[in-house]
Structures are given as C-alpha cells and as structure tokens.
C-alpha cells in the first residue's frame, strides 16, 4: 500500500470518528434508510453549489456539501481579516440551499441570508456569517459548529469546509494589463480572480499544500456519487482539485463522478469559454482526474461532438438535458436539474444499492 493510500485511510478514519457515530439527523441531515437513496457529495462554492444542492436535496437525504474556503470579499472577507477565521459566506449559502421548502426551512433560509443595512460596522454583514463565526469561537470546531447550524435550520444534508485553514487563491493571468496583452501577471484573491480582465492561465492556492478536512475526505471516499460544479470555474470549482488529499480522494474513490457544466461563460474569469474549454482547463489542473458523466444544458452546447471528444479524455459520457430556468436567465432550475441528476444516478454505470 502506498504512502498516499495510507494517509487517505487515516483521514477517512479520523473523518468518520469525527462524526461521533451520530446518525444523519443529528448532523443536520435526514436519517438514511438503508438501501433507499444514494450517498452524494457535492463540491463547489457560491451560487453554483447552491443550485446543485437545491436540486440534489430533492432526490436524496444523504447529501454532503464540501465548500471552498478561499473567499476574501464582502462580509466574509471582513470577518476573515478581522478575526482570522475561515470565510463563512459560501458555507452559509450552502446551508441556506439545504433548507427545506416548509415554513421552518424557508424562514431560516431568509434569516441567515439577511444582510444588515446601516451606516455602521454591521452594514452588509450577513446574519448567517455572524452565527457561524460565533459558533466557531464558542465550540472551537469548524465541523461541529456547522453541523449544529444545520440542525437548527433543519438542513437536508451536511456542509463541510474543504480545508480548515483560510486559503488565498492566486491566478496567472495573460493580458491583465491592457498595455501588455502578452504579459502574464499574478492576480491575488478570489474576488479579484472572479472579475479579472485578461485570460486566466492557471490558479493555485496559498498555502500550496493545504490540509483537507478529514470529514470531507471521508465523505468523498464513502460516496456513491460525487458532483463537481456548476460554479465559477477558477474560483469555486477548480480549487477543490488543488487540495492534495481531496484530489487523492477524488481519484481513488469508488464513487461515480459527474461534472455539471455552467449554462454560460462567466464575465471575467471564463469569458468566451466554450463548454469543452472548461473541460480542458480542468484537465490541466488535475490531469489524473477521471469522470463518468459530463452534464450540460443542450442549449448551451453549440457543438456536441467537440464536447464529447473533450469528455472522452476523462473517460466520461456526455448527458444533455434541459436544466436552465425557463425565464432565459443563465440559472439552473432546481426541479429540472434534480430530474437530470436522478436520471444520471439511475442510468449510468453501477446501479447503486438504493435502487
């Protein structure tokens, strides 16, 4: 057994022990009825991950979100700078997306997303950010605190940070300076990378070898399906592949892996990108990563053959499905995306024990 495999086994054991043997409902999720539903792990951040979670909670109660922790803007950035904590914003958004559709769930979703409007220091702080950080300080444990918030909200799943240390995202950008269109400069900070001018060549994290949260590694290794994307490609999706233990878990897991593509290029970091270009840059950052399915909206794919060719380099099949909201905005419809995921889980590869 390799040293890498031994390390993953240790992280898996620590991550499982960290749950304290508690049932899913005690960790903020629904109890799992054996043999009835898949274990699903969704990786990402921001609104893309929220869209995926809002869909996935409709088809499984055994759901874990693994969230990037490189945000440095807005309320999260201010709390990070002042208190030295993980940025809570994307974690908060994931918890809100996991709230149920009943009065309790929707009320709490609105409460934690509420932002104060004032002339003072509370201006634009989100209630959920303050609640999460307060529990981190009270309990001294990131995972335990997030589980407790999930239980309070009645969240239909679990939310975990991908790393227990705040991370800085840095990008090498070609043409960031309009006067030097061929020059390559380093752009620092997730907020800046997301809105950068020029062409992002690659991204990396500081520190370069961040520790993964053991519970996140354990969740990926124990999953039936892992979902990556949609979301800001360089600032929310790819960062998970830059945490070595998490990438090793994604490589070694027996779970099936589905990549969910965005509905449109993002102004700034992926402006002008084709669907297959998204796959190409993913492969540059994680050349050993294998996928089983690439999910895309048919209306967002101008050339299916090129996308199929790019997906085959990962060993993946392409699934095209209508997943966009009917109002024409580049946002995923939770019901349509849920139907697409459900069909993929049932029809591709190994049929899981929940069927």
* pLDDT at residue 196, as a whole number: 86
Q: Strands across the sheet with 39-44, in order?
A: 158-161, 62-67, 39-44, 225-228, 256-260, 293-296, 317-320
* Residue 162 β-bridge partners: none
Distances (CA, A) of 177 to 32, 54, 110, 198: 53, 39, 40, 8
Of the listed ranges 74-88, 94-108, 168-182, 234-248, the one predicted with least confidence = 168-182
With 60 as the cut, is the pLDDT of residue 89 above it? Answer: yes
Q: What is the mean pLDDT of the chain?
A: 90
pLDDT at position 205 is 96
Res 353 pLDDT > 70: no
Q: Is the pLDDT of residue 77 over 50?
A: yes
Q: How sure is the predictor about 25, in pLDDT bands with cuts at 50, 70 and 90?
A: very low
Q: Could you tell me the two tokens for 243?
A: 């945490």
The per-residue pLDDT for range 144-190, each reduced to its tens digit, is: 999 999 999 999 999 999 999 999 999 999 988 888 888 999 999 99
Mean per-residue pLDDT, 111-119: 92
Average pLDDT on 258-278 reads 92
> Looking at the predicted structure, is the pLDDT value of residue 29 above 50?
no
Provide the pLDDT for residue 350: 52
Q: How confident is the model at residue 31 (pLDDT cuts 50, 70, 90)?
A: very low
Distance from C-alpha of 5 to C-alpha of 17, rounded to nearest angstrom: 18
The pLDDT value recorded for residue 181 is 85
| Interior/surface letters 4-42, b for 16+ CB within 10 angstroms, e for the rest | eeeebeebbeebbebbeeeebeebbbbebeeeebbbbbb
- Closest among 170, 173, 243 to 210, alpha carbons compared: 243
* Stretch 252-258: mean pLDDT: 96
**pLDDT reported for residue 2:** 66
Torsion of CA 312, 289, 334, 305, to 10 degrees: -20
pLDDT score of 160: 98
Please check the confidence at residue 20 and state whether its pLDDT lies above 70.
Answer: no
Better-predicted residue by pLDDT, 7 or 268: 268
DSSP reduced 3-state for 130? helix
Measure Cα distances from 341 to 52, 145, 264, 334 in Å. Answer: 9, 29, 19, 10
- CB of 222 closer than 8 Å to CB of 13: no
Q: Yes or no: say if 256 and 43 are a contact pair by the CB < 8 Å rule.
A: no
Residue 273: pLDDT over 90: yes
Residue at token pair 């039936």: 224
Q: Are 55 and 341 in contact (CB under 8 A)?
A: yes
The answer to whether 213 and 162 are in contact (CB under 8 A) is: yes
Q: What is the sign, positive or negative, of the torsion defined by CA atoms of 339, 25, 250, 245?
A: positive
Summarize the confidence of residues 323-331 as an average pLDDT.
90
Question: Which DSSP symbol is given to 227?
Answer: E
pLDDT given for residue 21 in this prediction: 46
pLDDT at 10: 73
Confidence class for position 136, pLDDT limits 50, 70, 90: very high
Quote the distance between the C-alpha of residue 267 and its chain's center.
20
Residues 87 and 106: their CA atoms lie apart, in Å, by 23
Residue whose token pair is 């020059």: 183
Report residue 145 as tokens. 């605190």
pLDDT of 11: 75
* pLDDT of 276 higher than 80: yes
- Given a cut of 50, whether residue 355 has pLDDT beyond it is no
Q: What is the pLDDT of residues 288-318, one digit of tens each?
A: 999 999 999 999 999 999 999 999 999 999 9
Q: How far apart are the C-alpha atoms of 223 and 104, rounded to whole Å?
A: 29
Segment 82-87 mean pLDDT: 95
End-to-end CA distance of the chain: 33
């Amino acid at each position: 057994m390799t040293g890498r495999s031994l390390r993953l086994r240790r992280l898996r054991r620590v991550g499982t022990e960290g749950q304290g043997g508690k049932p899913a409902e005690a960790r903020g999720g629904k109890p799992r009825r054996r043999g009835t539903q898949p274990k699903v792990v969704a990786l990402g951040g921001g609104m893309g991950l929220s869209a995926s979670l809002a869909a996935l909670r409709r088809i499984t109660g055994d759901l874990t979100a693994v969230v990037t922790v490189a945000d440095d803007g807005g309320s999260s950035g201010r709390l990070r700078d002042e208190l030295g904590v993980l940025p809570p914003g994307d974690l908060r958004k994931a918890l809100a997306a996991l709230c149920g559709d009943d009065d309790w769930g929707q009320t709490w979703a609105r409460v934690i997303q509420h932002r104060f409007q004032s002339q003072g220091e509370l201006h634009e702080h989100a209630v959920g950010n303050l609640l999460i950080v307060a529990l981190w300080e009270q309990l001294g444990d990131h995972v335990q605190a997030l589980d407790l918030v999930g239980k309070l909200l009645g969240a239909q799943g679990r939310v975990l940070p991908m790393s227990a240390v705040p991370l800085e995202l840095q990008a090498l950008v070609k043409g960031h300076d309009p006067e030097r269109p061929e020059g390559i400069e380093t752009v620092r900070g997730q907020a800046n990378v997301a809105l950068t001018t020029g062409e992002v060549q690659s991204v990396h994290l500081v520190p370069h070898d961040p520790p993964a949260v053991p519970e996140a590694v354990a969740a990926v290794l124990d999953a039936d399906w892992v979902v990556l994307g949609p979301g800001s490609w360089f600032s929310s999706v790819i960062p998970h592949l830059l945490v070595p233990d998490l990438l090793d878990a994604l490589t070694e897991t027996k779970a099936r892996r589905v990549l969910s593509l965005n509905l449109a290029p993002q102004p700034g970091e992926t402006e002008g990108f084709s669907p297959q270009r998204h796959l190409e840059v993913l492969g540059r950052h994680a050349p050993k990563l294998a996928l089983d399915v690439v999910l895309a909206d048919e209306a967002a794919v101008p050339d299916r053959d090129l996308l199929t060719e790019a997906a085959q380099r990962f060993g993946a099949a392409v699934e095209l499905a209508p997943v966009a909201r009917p109002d024409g905005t580049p946002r995923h419809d939770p019901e349509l995306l849920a139907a697409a995921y459900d069909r993929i889980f049932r029809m591709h590869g190994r049929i899981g024990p929940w069927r």
